[in-house]
Structure 1
Amino acid sequence: MDKNGNPIFNSEKIESFNFENVEIISSYYTIKDNIDNKQSSVFINENPSLDDYWNFSTKLPTYYFMIADKGNVKGMLMLIPKKEDDSFFYNIIILGKNENFQVASKLKGKITENRAKELAGIKKTNAIVNDDVLKFGNKDFQILKYHDVIEEVKIIAKEKIIDNHDNENSNIEEYIKTESKGGKLDFKNTVEKYDGAFINFEGVLYNKKDFAILMWGAAVKKNGIKELNKAKLLWQEINERELTEPELKALRKGFETNF
């Protein structure tokens, strides 16, 4: 367990790359520091046998992938072998929606490429990797190539996470457009209730028009618009004009504020 009481399954980063305006980060669950590590949640034996190595390598997850949008993780995929045959499936988590589901892989293989290579690097296994085949225990096993996994992850991530996220953003923007004039995100009447011509907020005086923009900025950020420039463009689309410099400063302050 880690310091927060969570189970440990040690991994190492393979790579990160851009795809469809998001970043995909791939990682590999290693044999080393897991199979013979008592602190690992997948510990098997301090002195693993060949069967232990084989079972670990072919029955436990190999890869996981994070899908991030400007540093914010939107979803995760974990490649898991099926117990009954030489196939795999992805366990998928979509953050923010509390969704967790499985998608079958169309790929086939007994062992993934990174596992096969690591297994072959352990002297006592006498394993050998030859092109797409692992020789282990006098038998040949088909290797599932990492490149093929990546290509499948791209397809699944686009369909299940990226496009879903784009639709979600579109819904948020439509809600904001609808509610910004005469709705829940129209703060003109709210600020008119303040006495005087100006409102003092954190040592700065704002006229009521600009303070309504400040409140709007804080509200749209809370509703899911995380980029100031995106909020700026939305405001200008809704109001059909450019923001003035004082208005932009008010919007920026709203983004920095948690009401």
Structure 2
Amino acid sequence: MNKIITLFISLLSLNLFSQTDKNGNPVFNSLTLSEEKVNDYVLNSNYYTLANNISNKNSSVFITEQPSLDEIELAATKLPSDFFLVVKNLSPVKMIMLAEKSEMVFFVIDPATGANEVFPADIKGDITENRAKEIIEQKFDKRAKIDGNILFFNNKNLSIISTKEIKAKVKKLIAKKNLNQGEANQTKFDDKALLKKIVIKETHNGGKLDFFTEIKGHENDGIQVKPGIFSTKMGIALYKWGRGNYEIGVNNVEDALNIWEEIKERKPSKREIEYITMGFNKQLEN
């Protein structure tokens, strides 16, 4: 796992901040959780998910499509979780990421150069609050529960690190090390917009997500998906398109449907919603 973290840090430094490699594949999918104005900068709070990462072949932290509880626990407690952007004029000045080496530390990355520094975080605990919440939401373990600042998961009690504490320590580090100083990088942090551009491009004729050109004129032809299950060629194409969105790194099916709406310049039909959702959730592969 330490090797994976080291590889991830290297990839992140090289590919700041798009979260994608040179081929457009996601390094580690993330969600923006909040933005807060602090003095002369904006603190952008983000979270690296387990879902659509450790079970996604295109992610740099892929484990397997069906990770065990032990594998999920290791990833949940060892992989980077929360990260923050110091933003000025809509552009990042610094990235600050909480990670574990022999102890909790903050990696600070300069987007202009890719150079990084490491600072002690002075934070104790087994798992971040955002990770604990995701474990409950994703139902990785039906017996998992949160009781106060303890997560019961995989037959273990894991102490939870509060988001409030992490953010307070980040603000203190920014002030102490003047991390809000310097010129804003010209690279915009707009992961969702970048992924949308990739999906739209790959959906066009001949792209990786173009499952439609080859079936033109035969959209309603019947096809057997697996024994006892039948659909149309268009249904399967929509399913594959939804699945492709998941693999590229789109974080939820609502974002995928919004991209489809932009491509088609209309609201998705009931059938399109059904099949794209099934594909995104890999329902025919269960």
Q: TM-score if structure 2 supplies the norm length?
A: 0.53
User: In the alignment, which residue of structure 1 is the partner of 2:122?
Assistant: 106
What's the CA shift for 1:99? 3.7
Matched residue, 1:78: 97
Inter-partner Cα distance in structure 1 for 2:27 and 2:112: 24
Deviation (angstroms), 1:163:
5.8
| 1:74–1:161 Cα contact (<8 Å) kept | no
CA deviations over 1:202-256 (Å, ceiling 9, x no partner):
xxxxxxxxxxxxxxxxxxxxxxxxxxxxxxxxxxxxxxxxxxxxxxxxxxxxxxx
| Structure 1 Cα separation of the partners of residues 96 and 27 of structure 2 | 17
Equivalent-residue separation in structure 1 for 2:83 and 2:180 (angstroms)? 20
Partners of 1:35 and 1:44 within 8 A in 2: yes
**Partner SS state of residue 173, structure 2:** helix
> In 2, are the aligned partners of 1:94 and 1:161 still within 8 Å (CA)?
no
The Cα of 1:123 is off from its aligned counterpart by 2.7
Q: How far apart in 1 are the matches of 2:144 and 2:72? A: 11
How far does residue 116 in structure 1 lie from its aligned partner after superposition? 0.7
Specify the code of the residue in structure 2 equivalent to 1:91: F
Does 2:164 correspond to 1:147? yes
Deviation string 1:173-230 (CA, Å, 9 cap, x unpaired) is xxxxxxxxxxxxxxxxxxxxxxxxxxxxxxxxxxxxxxxxxxxxxxxxxxxxxxxxxx
Match of 1:66 in 2: 85
For 1:88-237, list aligned pairs within 5 A.
88-96=104-112, 99-125=115-141, 126-162=143-179, 164-165=181-182
Task: Give, in angstroms, the shift of residue 139 of structure 1.
Answer: 2.3
Q: Which amino acid aligns with 2:152?
A: K
Residues in 1 aligned to 2:62 and 2:177: alpha-carbon distance in whole angstroms: 32
Could you tell me which residue of structure 2 aligns to residue 184 of structure 1?
none
C-alpha displacement of 1:96:
4.0
* Cα distance in 1 for residues equivalent to 2:172 and 2:56: 35
- Of structures 1 and 2, the one with the larger relative CO (CA 8 A, separation 6+) is 2
- What is the CA distance between 1:98 and its match in structure 2? 5.3
Amino acid paired to 2:162: K
Q: 2: distance between equivalents of 1:158 and 1:37?
A: 37
Q: Does 1:21 align with 2:40?
A: yes
> 1:157–1:47: structure 2 CA closer, same or farther, 3 Å change rule?
same
Cα displacement string for residues 127-154 of structure 1 (whole angstroms, at most 9, x for unaligned residues) = 1111111112332111000000000010
For structure 2, the 5+ residue unaligned runs are 1-18, 184-286
- CA distance in 2 between counterparts of 1:57 and 1:9 reads 14
- Give the Å deviation of 1:162: 3.7
Whether the 8 Å CA contact 2:21–2:27 is kept in 1: the answer is no
Shift of the 21–107 alpha-carbon distance from structure 1 to 2, 3 Å rule, reads same
**Greater percentage in strand:** 1
Contact 1:24–1:66 at 8 Å: present in 2 too?
A: yes
- Which one of 8, 16, 22 corresponds to residue 4 of structure 1? 22
Q: Is the 8 A contact 2:93 2:180 kept in 1?
A: no
| CA apart distance, 1:97 | 5.9
Q: Which has the larger radius of gyration?
A: 1
Residue identity in the other structure for 2:110: I
Q: Distance in 2 between matches of 1:70 and 1:2?
A: 23
* Equivalent residue letter for 1:133: I
Cα drift, residue 79 of structure 1: 0.8
Q: Report how many aligned residue pairs link the two structures.
A: 163
Residues 13-55 of structure 1: per-residue CA shift (max 9 Å, x gap): 0100011210010110001100111111111011110011101
Aligned match of 1:226: none
State TM-score, norm by structure 1: 0.58
- For 1:165, give the aligned amino acid: G
Q: What RMSD in Å do the two structures reach over aligned CA positions? A: 2.1
SS in 2 for 1:4: coil
Residues 47 and 99 (structure 1), Cα distance of their counterparts in 2 relative to 1, 3 Å cut? closer
For residues 46 and 79 of structure 2, the distance between their equivalents in structure 1, rounded to whole angstroms, comes to 14
